[in-house]
Amino acid sequence: MINKSTKGRGPDSKGLNVYEITAKTQVLIVGFGPTGATIANLLGGYGVEVLAIDKSTEIFPKPRAISLDNEALRVLQLAGLPEGAFDTVAIPEVRLYSPSVGLFAQIRTAGSIDGHPKLVTFHQPELEAALRTRVQSHPSVSVRLGVELIELEERSDSVRVVLRNREGGVSTVRADYVIGADGASSKVREGLGLGFDGQTYVEDWLIVDAKDVPAPIDHVEFLCDPRRPTPHMVAPGNRQRWEFMLHPGETREEMERPEKVRELLAPWGSPESMEIERTAVYRFHARTVDRFGRGRVFLAGDAAHVTPPFIGQGLVAGLRDAANLSWKLAWVLQGRAHSRILESYDQERRPHAKAMIDLAKVMGRVVMPRSRFGAMGTGACLRIARRVPFLRAYIDELKIKPRNRFRRGLFLRTRPARPRSRPVQLVAGDSFPQVWLSGPDGKGRWSDDALGAGLSLVGFGLDPQKYVGDAMHEWRAAGGTFLQVCHRGQRLHRGNGDHVWEDVSGGLVPDAAPIEWAAVVRPDRTIMVHGPIAEAPRLVRESLELLNSSEAKRSRPEPLRFHTNPTMEATR
Ligand SMILES: Cc1cc2nc3c(=O)[nH]c(=O)nc-3n(C[C@H](O)[C@H](O)[C@H](O)COP(=O)(O)OP(=O)(O)OC[C@H]3O[C@@H](n4cnc5c(N)ncnc54)[C@H](O)[C@@H]3O)c2cc1C
């Protein structure tokens, strides 16, 4: 239990075994699961001093997340994981079957968005190990495993936390900010006294990972059979995953018995020839916290939201939290933005996390039909819906997935005057597209890697540096950088320097915006504001106002530091 006030009850006064971690840190991350480890990498990349703790000494071994989408992979790229850092299988399609109508929906997931496959499966412990390895490259990040948060007290200028190690030793740490990435039963959330409303499903599910399956599939399928709903999918390492819904009265012990697991797997080949690697029984929840933080304490990942896994968005949402929160904390701690910007974390993340959970609940109703009649009805309705071209695109092309475009937050959505040539596809509060660029030396790079860690003024076809005028000094002080994206083969109007790149595919210039356009792109790749490049001084001024940078303590703003990801250069 976390005490919000611990005055006069420090560990010394209790005569406890005191051990030393560190007296002070800029950010304490409670929980070093995938969300906490991603945040540690992002903050470490920005040069923020971090202490990350976890009460467990091991990576959680049981089967959990198996799929990630292109947005999640983009965040992992931002966190410095090179392609191939963990194994993935790109999924070509997701099929939904019902016993009465057969195949009734097919979601096409082949192809990529923003440089990443639309859907992959992966092995969560391997991803977590890769994140932990990457953290070691950040000198400003310390990790302590086997250390638990036991008390937390927010003060006006810091947060005081009491930690306990496995030997029972306690230590007090003062942090400028605390992030609770401590999972669904978050102590940090409990300490903040925030509600975690939603529902817990009555059904339990048995999750099975097996290797060397005689009749494997190469996609994802949902067997929407009311007798035993079963999602089933391919995974890396020659694995297949099944999720079997338990019937009322079936117990965890009975279902995890090897002979029962073998019986369930029999339709996919002789279970004797398979290696049943892992099993676990879970009950799913659909809950969101009232606020994603309060004062100097923030929540991220499962600590802030939990979802049934039917659309594979639990960890993905945690990764979105990580990208959204980390740069804001870095900018505040390094004196480039006012702490008021941190309020936008809740404004931007909570509605989207909730929308994803709502979609997962709808998918749950499709996957878990209550009766044969219900299954037949759902299957038939979806089949008919797919005959209507608009609805077919909505289902098959995954347009049903809520777009990660903010309604409120740290961006400025003005109606730009129509440019002369092509329409502008950019929307402030939406994500900036990622494309493959070619550099002056002919080397290729993803545009996110070329953008680097800064708050970037991107010029379409023209060199943005030439247009900022008097705002240059203030822009640089606020962590502002520049990127010129030339169209394919462009020779005229090219600037000089390593910020000049050519858009090989045309996905940015001219598809996203025409020449003479400009956009301010946040370090989490959200578009802050955009408009004609001739108005660059206004775009810069509006961005600085959004950051409240004039009110931030900018006596000595820290220079930008970022660990780029050189291996990404060689990925195409
Ligand atoms: C069956 C199943 C299938 C899933 N499938 C998918 C999927 O396909 N795609 C997807 O995106 N998501 C999926 N998820 C969800 C995904 O696994 C979770 O969202 C993700 O693991 C959450 O990561 P986290 O870092 O936020 O929390 P966790 O992984 O729970 O990590 C929290 C960490 O905090 C530590 N901790 C807790 N309390 C303290 C304390 N007081 N002090 C110190 N440390 C503490 C814990 O030891 C733990 O290591 C699935 C989940 C399940 C169960």
Tell which one of 54, 64, 178, 325 to mutate to probe ligand 1, the residue whose CB is within 8 A of the most ligand atoms.
64
Q: How far is the CA of 302 from the centre of ligand 1 (A)?
A: 6
Same domain for 325 and 457: no
CATH of the domain at 180: 3.50.50.60
Q: How far is the CA of 282 from the centre of ligand 1 (A)?
A: 13
Q: Is 130 in the same domain as 30?
A: yes
Calculate mean pLDDT across residues 12-16.
49
Q: Determine contact, residues 123/269, Cβ cutoff 8 Å.
A: no
DSSP string for residues in 548-565: TTTTS--SSPPPP-----
**How confident is the model at residue 551, as a pLDDT?**
62
Question: Are the C-beta atoms of 35 and 302 separated by less than 8 Å?
Answer: yes
Distance from residue 385's CA to the centre of ligand 1 (Å): 36
Mean pLDDT of the 468-494 span = 95
State if residue 191 touches ligand 1 by the CB under 6 angstroms criterion. no
State the pLDDT confidence band at 18, using cuts at 50, 70 and 90: low
**How many domains is the chain partitioned into structurally?**
2
Name the more confident of 270 and 250.
250
Residue 368 located in a structural domain: no
* pLDDT on residue 292: 98
Q: Give the least confident one: 255-259, 268-272, 407-411, 479-483.
A: 268-272
On whether residue 47 sits in a domain, the answer given is: yes
**Cα 180 to averaged position of ligand 1 atoms, centre (Å):** 12
Q: Is a pLDDT exceeding 70 seen at residue 51?
A: yes
Does 182 sit in the ligand 1 pocket, CB within 6 Å? yes
Q: Which domain holds residue 347?
A: 12-84+122-197+286-359
pLDDT of residue 454 exceeding 80, the answer is yes
Separation of CA 361 and ligand 1 centre (Å): 19
Confidence check: pLDDT of 552 > 70: no
Residue 357 has pLDDT above 90, yes or no: yes
User: Is 386 a domain residue?
Assistant: no
* 302, 313, 319, 352: residue to mutate for ligand 1 pocket, most atoms within 8 A of CB: 302
What is the model's pLDDT at position 264? 96
Mean pLDDT lowest among 92-101, 200-209, 414-423: 414-423
Residue 461 lies inside a defined structural domain of this protein: yes
Instruction: State in Å, rounded, how far the first CA of the chain is from the last one.
Output: 50
- The verdict on the CB of residue 302 being under 6 Å from ligand 1 is yes
Do 344 and 462 lie in a common domain? Answer: no
Which residue lies with its CA nearest to atom 14 of ligand 1? 65
DSSP-H helix ranges across 368-483: 372-385, 389-396, 447-451, 472-477
- The pLDDT of residue 11 is 39
Q: Which atom of ligand 1 is nearest to the CA of 59?
A: 49
Ligand 1 pocket mutation pick from 29, 55, 127 by most atoms within 8 angstroms of CB: 55
Atom 13 of ligand 1, residue of closest alpha carbon: 65
Q: Name the pLDDT band for 6 (thresholds 50, 70, 90).
A: very low
Q: Which residue, by CA, sits nearest to atom 15 of ligand 1?
A: 314
> 461 with 328, same domain?
no
Going by pLDDT thresholds of 50, 70 and 90, the confidence category of residue 270 is: confident
Q: Which of 66, 145, 182 to mutate to test the pocket of ligand 1 (most atoms within 8 A of CB)?
A: 182
Out of 127-141, 287-301, 387-401, which region has the weakest mean confidence (pLDDT)? Answer: 387-401
For the chain, percent of residues with pLDDT exceeding 90: 80
pLDDT number for residue 556: 58
pLDDT value, residue 45: 97
Cβ–ligand 1 distance for 313 under 6 Å, the answer yes
Same domain, 341 and 467: no
Asked if residue 510 has a cis previous peptide bond (ω within 30° of 0), the answer is yes
Query: Is 462 close to ligand 1, i.e. is its CB under 6 Å away?
Result: no
Instruction: Grade residue 8 by pLDDT with cuts at 50, 70 and 90.
Output: very low
Cβ of 183 less than 6 Å from ligand 1:
yes
Closest protein CA for atom 35 of ligand 1: 31
pLDDT at 441: 81
Say how far apart CA 571 and CA 444 lie, in whole Å: 8
pLDDT at residue 567, as a whole number: 39
346 has pLDDT over 90 = yes
Average pLDDT estimate for 353-366: 94
**pLDDT at residue number 286:** 96
Question: Above 70 in pLDDT, residue 483?
Answer: yes
Domain boundary at 329, 359, 389, which? 359
**Atom number in ligand 1 closest to CA 307:** 15
Helix (H, G, I), strand (E, B) or coil at 470: helix
Q: Kindly give the number of the ligand 1 atom that is closest to the alpha carbon of 37.
A: 25
Q: Which of 19, 387, 16, 324 is nearest to 179 (CA)?
A: 324
Residue 446 has pLDDT above 90, yes or no: yes
pLDDT band at 570 (very low <50, low <70, confident <90, very high): very low
Alpha carbon of 72 to ligand 1 centroid (Å) = 15
pLDDT, residue 82, reads 95
Q: Over 69-108, what HEC string results?
A: EHHHHHHHHHCCCCCCCCCEEECCEEEEEECCCEEEEEEE
C-beta of 55 in contact with ligand 1 (< 6 A):
yes
Distance, CA of 320 to chain centre: 3
Query: Sign of torsion, CA 31 32 34 37?
Result: positive
The answer to the question of residue 43 being in a domain is yes
Whether ligand 1 lies within 6 angstroms of the CB of 350 is answered as no
Weakest-pLDDT range from 33-42, 443-452, 542-551: 542-551
Between residues 12 and 217, which one has the greater pLDDT?
Answer: 217
**Domain end call among 359, 388, 406:** 359
What is the average pLDDT score of the chain? 90
Judgement on whether residues 29 and 168 belong to the same structural domain of the protein: yes
Q: How far is the CA of 183 from the centre of ligand 1 (A)?
A: 5
- Residue 53 Cβ inside 6 Å of ligand 1? The answer reads yes
- Which pLDDT band holds residue 418 (cuts at 50, 70, 90)? low
7 pLDDT above the threshold of 70 = no
Cα 28 from Cα 521, distance rounded (Å):
27
Q: Are residues 347 and 455 in the same domain?
A: no
Does the structure show a pLDDT above 60 at 517?
yes
Distance 428 CA to ligand 1 centre (A): 31
**Selection from 146, 180, 177, 176 nearest residue 163 by Cα:** 146
Residue 375 confidence class, pLDDT cut points 50, 70, 90: confident
Structure confidence at residue 550 as a pLDDT band (50, 70, 90): low
Our answer on whether the CB atom of 409 is closer than 6 Å to any ligand 1 atom is no
Is there a single domain that holds both residue 442 and residue 544? yes
pLDDT given for residue 421 in this prediction: 61
209 forms bridges with which residues in the sheet?
Answer: 241, 278
Find out whether the beta carbon of 33 lies less than 6 Å from any atom of ligand 1: yes
Nearest-CA residue for atom 21 of ligand 1: 315
Atom of ligand 1 nearest to the CA of 181: 26
pLDDT digits (tens, 9 = 90+) for 315-342: 999 999 999 999 999 999 999 999 999 9
> Is 406 domain-assigned?
no
271 three-state secondary structure: helix
Assess whether pLDDT exceeds 60 at residue 561: no
Residue 168 and residue 304 in one domain: yes
Residue-wise pLDDT for 68-118, tens only, equals 999 999 999 999 999 999 999 999 999 999 988 899 999 999 999 999 999
Does ligand 1 lie within 6 Å of residue 531's CB atom?
A: no
Instruction: Look at residue 15 and tell me whether its pLDDT is greater than 60.
Output: no
Task: Answer whether residue 539 is part of any domain.
Answer: yes
Ligand 1 centroid–CA 34 distance in Å is 7
Domain co-membership, 346 together with 489: no
* Protein residue with its CA nearest to atom 26 in ligand 1: 301
Report for 20-29, 96-105, 217-226: range of highest mean pLDDT = 217-226
**Cβ neighbours of 214 (radius 10 Å):** 12
Residue 253 has pLDDT above 70, yes or no: yes
Could you tell me if residue 452 is inside a domain? yes
| Domain co-membership, 443 together with 298 | no
Q: Is 318's C-beta closer than 6 angstroms to any atom of ligand 1?
A: yes
Ligand 1, atom 5, residue with closest C-alpha: 65
- Which pLDDT band holds residue 379 (cuts at 50, 70, 90)? confident
- CATH number, position 497: 3.40.30
Of 336, 359, 382, the one marking the end of a domain is 359
pLDDT of residue 349 exceeding 70, the answer is yes
